[in-house]
Structure 1
Amino acid sequence: MSTLIDIRDLTVRIDLPEGPVFPVRNVSLSLEEGETVGLVGESGCGKTLTCLSVIGLLGRRASIESGSVVFQGVEIDPDDPDDKRRRSRGMGIIFQNPMTCLNPVRTLGWQVAEAYQIRTGESRRVAQRRATELLDLVGIPEPKRRAADYPHQVSGGQQQRAMIAMAIAGGPALLIADEPTTALDVTIQAQILDLLARLQREIGMGILFVTHDLGLVAEVADRMAVMYAGRVVELAPADALFAQPRHPYTRGLLTSLPFLDDDIDRLTPIEGTVPPLHAMPPGCAFAPRCSQASPICSTPPDLRASGDGLIACHHGLKTDTVAA
């Protein structure tokens, strides 16, 4: 396999009235062709902003301060119109909530056809025919009839399937799935995960799967990247990370999960709170919440090799295990 996308030392800046903040800091992450990488962490840790930086959808106040994104071997220039077109054709994204992302005054078929036209440059007639085929591909029953429906006329699960059809229109090499099952019940979640796995096999795309649900990502990811306060703090094969978490934050996330064979009265939370963006500690952002913290933690740890993966910690956990 060859590297599909390589994010190198990515830092994102947001200009606020009280001054700039950096919600994504020195993030490095790569994804191979046909691979699924899970990007996990608490809400507000920078997962979505990392993805929006990659696909070029940052808002007016946000910008890439430093770092680079290399897609299919070519570094992306955010200001180059040709690179913007290359990203629009080679990348697709599934947003968190289809009810707020789909256009309420356009039919499902119109929206899927538009995505296909933008990526391929085909005529409207061809795009409309392909839209029906894509709705059928993602498992929407009676796709020709549903293509004429508006978002409010279908269920949440079918709205999400329509979003997936838009994301894969034109056969992107990279699919970014940003919390694609958050608004769905458990049964529909399982159907969407099965659908993404099938589409990945058929199309051969790489998937960056963003979630805060560790149990969910364990089912789909080949590798996992854990983010905290805007940085990747651990990266490892999914099985290895669940069996032997090496960063104290990863360990805290896993020990806070309930397991069916555990007989406990209360869950074990991570003490403390995530520091605000305007008041980050000078060293490791997790140090104020970490039982392993020592004076050396006032120096920012680099992401370095540890076991089967990478870890950004001066005190990597090497022996304790947590059962998946």
Structure 2
Amino acid sequence: MTTPTSTLPARAPSRAGGAPDPAPRRWWTATRRDAAAGYLFIAPQLLGIVLFVLIPLGLIFYYAFHEWNVLAGTFTFVGLENVEKLFSDPQLMPVLTATAVFSIGLVVFNLSLALLLAVLLNRRWRGVTVFRTIFFSPVVVSLVAWTIVWGFLLQDNGGINGLLAVVGIEGPNWLREGGTAMFSVIVVQVFKNVGLNMVLFLAALQGVPRELQEAARVDGATDRTVFVRIVLPLISPTVLLALIITIVGSLQVYAQIAVLTQGGPGISTTVLVYYLVQQAFEFHQFGYGSTLAILLFLIVGALTIAQWQLRKRWVFYEN
């Protein structure tokens, strides 16, 4: 009589020496879970960059080679005609000059005033917190509302000339004369955003070790020497940050020009952003407006790269 044999389970292959092989690794590991969570967190920002930055930027380059007539409903490929028009435009050089004047004036006045206010407010005075709040409050005020109020103050019969008349000075028509229009726009923008750079400089000043300043004074250094030789080098990374932010912001100004001067008198305050918006949306030259936008993009990129390269010469890092 034959006894049925029982089927035994197959033994797992073993390594040399009799040790069983390790269990296969799982694909959905903790590392991959952490990476997936990170991608999910950055997905909204990444989607916004793609939809509102990269795609519009690509379309601008596409439109620069076309001429889009909205009224006639035509969209024609014109090649490099818009580039040729850019180099032959008689108004481009005055526009670039006005842009340079506005940017240089804004950067110089903004950074100088912000640094001065930060130095003054870094002292332990009674009520210093109130003054910090007062100087920072314009930053959170609506840009259009701020500009409209200043537009009333700078009129021929506005508040500024009223104050000057009290002391016997006849003020000019600030926004309608070529010599004062650009200066007025710069001052309005400086007072609007000086509080932001002031806070940045104030935070940097509070991080400067007081021991270094006291040691320098013990050695006979004056306050000016301490500031130039010790404080300013230590806060130079913050100065670089404020410089880049201010320059890029000065090249993108539009609302102030549109509300205060509309580019006038003449084109003395017509900066590049206002000019390209005017060409694209008032004159319906979207192809040429896109070409001007590319020019602005190249200018901002070149200035940012130049500042980033020059940082190695004058920005101090502890490491």
If each structure's strand is expressed as a fraction of its own residues, which one has the higher value?
1
Q: State the TM-score bracket (shorter-chain normalisation).
A: under 0.3
TM-score, length-scaled by structure 1: 0.21
Give the TM-score, by structure 2 length: 0.21
> Going by fraction, where is helix more abundant, 1 or 2?
2
Larger radius of gyration: 2
